[in-house]
């Protein structure tokens, strides 16, 4: 447990003491501060006197009236709110056509945007198969010949043989 | 921004929050119930704040109108009473600002009162022991306490009223008045010291006549 300082001088920092006493009366102090105030009150008659005086004036506020309102007031308040509610409904009705127009515009713009997005997606997708086909064109042009060959190694062997047997033709092709 | 868990917590703990959520769903009976629960309390606080019953009633109606208009966007982020009195504080501050701009002065002088036309001055004299002490009846005491309350500034007065009449904690008062709890602690302390200084002669003299040798402590 932390070492507690000696009892504070009650006359020092009177503003702060009164603040603590008011908070103590209001139940707003934490446990530690509560204990400190209670220790002070047990030993300091001036602090006790201040506390009693603060409590006494606070209790005097009980002399203030608490208002009672009657049915007339309740009824007039409800009527006022009902009038405000009907004014809100009228305003809502007058704004409805404008809101509908705004909504239609928004829906149309949305549909247009969706169409554009769809077109773009399709266009992008369709481009790829054609690109692939273009890339494969040299193979496709000789597909019937390539069908006669079983593997690539044989093709490479054939190419090397052709270079040896027909060097002038290979030179022309390159 | 109020979290969903906080909102749910307030709804569980506070029956008035649940009523307000029904008002949000356009339940007229729930709105009327809230009105019945709070109209007296609002008029009480506002009347002591603005010192005028008619104005207090007008302001109370304004508060309920604002509650109704805010119903669709209501999210429970505090106790219902804290939220309601936040609106009341705002409405009252606006009214007091307008009032001071129009330089209206409400005179509540009771010629037949113990201090005649200058009750506050009378209080000061009484505290010096120059006026004879006498037993004050309940009506006089009420008037003196009202005058003492009037001697506070508006923020001190509001804090005192919320603490005394609504039993609000410093945290709730702070939220209502948009101040920190420490600021409320200081505000209430100053207010109560001021009240004590004005009312003390009546506590000391109380119901008993003061002997000539004991004029003041």
Tell me, yes or no, if the pTM score tops 0.80.
no
Q: Is residue A161 part of a domain?
A: yes
Q: Which of B54, B71, B101 is the endpoint of a domain?
A: B101
User: Is the predicted pLDDT of residue A166 greater than 80, yes or no?
Assistant: no
Instruction: Nearest by CB to B163, from A26, A69, A77: name it.
Output: A26
**Shortest CA distance from B47: residue in chain A:** A67
Same domain, yes or no: B60 and B16:
yes
Give yes or no: residues B161 and B207 share one domain. Answer: yes
Question: For chain B, how many structural domains are there in total?
Answer: 2
In this structure, the answer to whether residues B12 and B95 fall within a common structural domain is yes
Q: Does B142 touch chain A if contact means CB atoms closer than 8 Å? A: yes
A82 vs A85: CA distance, rounded Å: 5
What pLDDT does A40 receive? 95
B35 with B75, same domain: the answer is yes
pLDDT value of residue B101: 76
Domain of residue A35: give its range: 14-63
- Mean pLDDT, rounded, for B18-30: 95
Q: In this structure, what CATH number is given to the domain that contains residue B60?
A: 1.10.1740.10
Q: Clarify whether residues B85 and B159 are in a common domain.
A: no
Q: Is residue A148 part of a domain?
A: yes
Quick check: is B65 in a domain? yes
Highest mean pLDDT, choosing among A1-5, A141-145, B125-129, B157-161: B157-161
Domain closes at, from B66, B101, B136: B101
Q: Is the CB of A19 inside 8 Å of chain B's CB atoms?
A: yes
What is residue B217's predicted lDDT score, i.e. its pLDDT? 37
Alpha helix positions (H), chain A:
14-25, 31-43, 45-60, 71-141, 143-146, 152-165, 167-173
Q: How many angstroms separate the Cα of B92 from the Cα of each of B27, B60, B185? A: 27, 9, 21
| B89 and B177 belong to one structural domain | no
In a domain, B113, yes or no: no
pLDDT band (50, 70, 90) for residue A105: confident
Residues B36 and B67 in one domain: yes
Is any Cβ of chain A less than 8 angstroms from the Cβ of B40? Answer: yes
**Chain B interface includes A89 (CB < 8 A):** no
Do B20 and B87 fall within a single domain? Answer: yes
B76 pLDDT more than 60: yes
Q: Is residue B22 part of a domain?
A: yes
In a domain, B114, yes or no: no
**The tokens of B132 are what?**
């004879």
A57, A73, A81 member nearest B200 (Cβ): A57
Q: Which residue of B has its CA nearest to A57?
A: B196
Q: Give yes or no: residues B63 and B127 share one domain.
A: no
- Mean pLDDT, residues A118-128: 77
Return d(Cα B195, Cα B151) in angstroms, integer: 8
Instruction: Note whether B97 and B14 are same-domain residues.
Output: yes
Any B CB within 8 A of A68 CB: yes
Choice among B85-89, B91-95, B118-122, B150-154 with the minimum mean pLDDT: B118-122
How many beta-carbon pairs under 8 angstroms link A with B?
103
Last residue of a domain, one of B45, B73, B101: B101
Is the same domain home to B93 and B174?
no
Per the CB < 8 A criterion, the answer to whether B17 and B67 are in contact is no
Alpha-carbon distances of A56 from A17, A67, B87, B144, B199, rounded to whole Å: 17, 23, 31, 14, 9
| Judgement on whether residues B79 and B144 belong to the same structural domain of the protein | no
Residue that is last in its domain, among A63, A87, A103: A63
| Euclidean distance between CA atoms B65 and B111, whole angstroms | 39
pLDDT band at B188 (very low <50, low <70, confident <90, very high): very high
For residue A88 the two structure tokens come to 């809100």
The answer to whether position B54 is within a domain reads yes
Asked, for residue A25, whether it belongs to a domain, the answer is yes
* Domain containing residue B200: 119-214
Q: Is B182 on the interface with A (CB under 8 A)?
A: no
The answer to whether position A5 is within a domain reads: no
- Is the residue at B108 inside a domain? no
ipTM (interface pTM):
0.76
Residues of A in contact with B185 (CB under 8 A): 19, 22-23, 28
The residue of B36, B68, B140 whose CB has the most chain A CBs within 10 angstroms, and thus the best one to mutate to test that interface, is B68
The CATH code of the domain that includes B133 is 1.10.10.10
Does residue B112 lie in a domain region?
Answer: no
Do the domain assignments include residue B23? yes
Give the pLDDT confidence score for residue B79 in this predicted structure.
94
Question: Domain total for chain A?
Answer: 2
* A58 touches B: beta carbon within 8 Å: yes
């Amino acid at each position: 447990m932390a070492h507690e300082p000696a009892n504070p001088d009650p006359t020092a920092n009177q503003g702060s003491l009164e603040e603590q006493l008011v908070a103590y009366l209001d139940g707003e102090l934490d446990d530690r501060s509560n204990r400190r105030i209670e220790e002070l009150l047990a030993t300091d008659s001036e602090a006790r006197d201040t506390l009693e005086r603060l409590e006494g004036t606070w209790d005097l506020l009980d002399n203030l009236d608490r208002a009672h309102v009657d049915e007339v007031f309740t009824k007039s308040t409800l009527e006022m709110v009902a009038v405000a509610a009907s004014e809100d409904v009228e305003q809502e009705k007058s704004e409805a056509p404008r809101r509908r127009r705004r909504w239609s515009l928004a829906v149309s713009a949305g549909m247009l945007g969706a169409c554009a997005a769809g077109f773009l997606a399709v266009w992008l997708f369709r481009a790829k198969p054609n690109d692939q086909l273009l890339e494969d064109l040299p193979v496709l042009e000789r597909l019937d010949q390539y069908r006669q060959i079983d593997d690539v190694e044989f093709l490479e062997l054939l190419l090397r043989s052709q270079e040896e047997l027909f060097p002038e033709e290979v030179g022309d092709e390159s | 921004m109020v979290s969903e868990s906080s909102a749910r917590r307030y709804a569980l703990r506070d029956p008035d929050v649940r009523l307000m959520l029904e008002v949000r769903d356009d339940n007229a009976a729930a709105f009327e119930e809230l009105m019945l629960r709070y109209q007296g309390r609002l008029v009480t606080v506002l009347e002591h704040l603005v010192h005028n019953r008619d104005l207090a009633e007008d302001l109370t109606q304004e508060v309920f109108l604002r509650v109704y208009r805010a119903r669709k966007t209501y999210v429970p982020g505090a106790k219902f009473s804290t939220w309601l009195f936040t609106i009341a504080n705002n409405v009252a501050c606006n009214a007091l600002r307008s009032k001071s701009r129009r330089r209206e002065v409400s005179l509540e002088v009771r010629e037949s009162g113990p201090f005649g036309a200058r009750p506050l001055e009378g209080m000061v004299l009484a505290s010096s022991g120059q006026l004879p002490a006498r037993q004050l009846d309940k009506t006089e005491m009420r008037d003196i306490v009202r005058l003492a309350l009037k001697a506070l500034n508006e923020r001190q007065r509001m804090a005192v009223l919320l603490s005394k009449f609504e039993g609000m904690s410093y945290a709730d008062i702070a939220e209502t008045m948009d101040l920190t709890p420490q600021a409320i602690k200081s505000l209430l302390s100053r207010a109560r010291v001021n009240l004590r200084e004005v009312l003390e002669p009546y506590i000391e003299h109380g119901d008993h006549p003061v002997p000539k040798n004991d004029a003041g402590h």
